[in-house]
Structure 1
Amino acid sequence: MDTTPEGLQTESISVMIVDDHEVVRRGIAEVIDRSEGMSVVAEAGSVAEGVRRASLVHPQVMLVDLQLPDGTGIDLMRSVRATQPETRAIVLTSFDDDSALAAALEVGAAAYVLKSVRGAEIADVVRAVAAGRVLLDERTITRRRREHDDPTEDLTPSEVRVVDLIGEGLSNREIAERLSIAEKTVKNHITSLLAKMGLQRRTQVAAWVAARKHHAWAQDSTNR
Structure 2
Amino acid sequence: MSDTIPPSDTPDPGRMPERRKTNPPGLCPPPEPLWPHFLTGQEDAPVRVLLIDDDEFMRRVIAQELLSDMRIQLEGQGSSVRDGRRLLATHEFDVLMVDLRLGDGSGFDLIREARKLHRYCEIIVISALEDDAHVMHAFELGATGYLLKHAWLQSFAEAVLQVVNGGAAITPKLTRRLLTRMNLHGSGERPATEAPLREATLTAREREVLRFVARGCVSKEISMRLGISGQTVNAHIKNIYKKLHVHSRAQAVSLATHTGQL
Task: Map Cα deviations across residues 172-218 of structure 1 (whole Å, 9 max, x no partner).
Answer: xxxxxxxxxxxxxxxxxxxxxxxxxxxxxxxxxxxxxxxxxxxxxxx
Task: Map Cα deviations across residues 141-187 of structure 1 (whole Å, 9 max, x no partner).
Answer: 9928955739xxxxxxxxxxxxxxxxxxxxxxxxxxxxxxxxxxxxx
TM-score, normalization: structure 1?
Answer: 0.56
Find the counterpart in structure 2 of residue 110 from structure 1: 144
CA distance in 2, matches of 1:142, 1:70: 35
Find the counterpart in structure 2 of residue 143 from structure 1: 181
Unmatched segments (≥5 aa) in structure 2: 1-34, 185-189, 195-262
Q: Of the two structures, which has the highest relative contact order with CA contacts closer than 8 Å and spacing of 6 or more?
A: 1
Find the counterpart in structure 2 of residue 61 from structure 1: 95
Q: 1:100 to 1:9 in 2, by over 3 A?
A: closer
Find the counterpart in structure 2 of residue 222 from structure 1: none
Find the counterpart in structure 2 of residue 187 from structure 1: none
- Percentage of identical aligned residues: 30
Find the counterpart in structure 2 of residue 166 from structure 1: none
- 2:126 pairs, out of 84, 92, 96, with 92
Task: Map Cα deviations across residues 59-98 of structure 1 (whole Å, 9 max, x no partner).
Answer: 1111110101121111110011111112210001112110
Q: 1:14 to 1:115 in 2, by over 3 A?
A: same
Task: Map Cα deviations across residues 99-143 of structure 1 (whole Å, 9 max, x no partner).
Answer: 001110111000111112358622111101111223469x93992
Find the counterpart in structure 1 of residue 51 from structure 2: 17
Residues 1:78 and 2:91 are matched in the alignment: no
Unmatched segments (≥5 aa) in structure 1: 151-224
Larger Rg: 2
How many positions carry a matched residue from both structures?
145
TM-score, normalization: structure 2?
Answer: 0.49
Q: 1:114 to 1:55 in 2, by over 3 A?
A: same
Please tell me whether the aligned partners of residues 98 and 141 of structure 1 are also in contact (alpha carbons under 8 angstroms). Answer: no
SS of 1:10's partner is coil
CA distance in 1, matches of 2:113, 2:43: 33
- 1:128 pairs, out of 126, 151, 162, with 162
Q: Which is richer in helix?
A: 1
CA distance in 2, matches of 1:56, 1:64: 17
Specify the code of the residue in structure 2 equivalent to 1:149. Answer: T
What's the RMSD between the two structures over aligned residues?
3.2
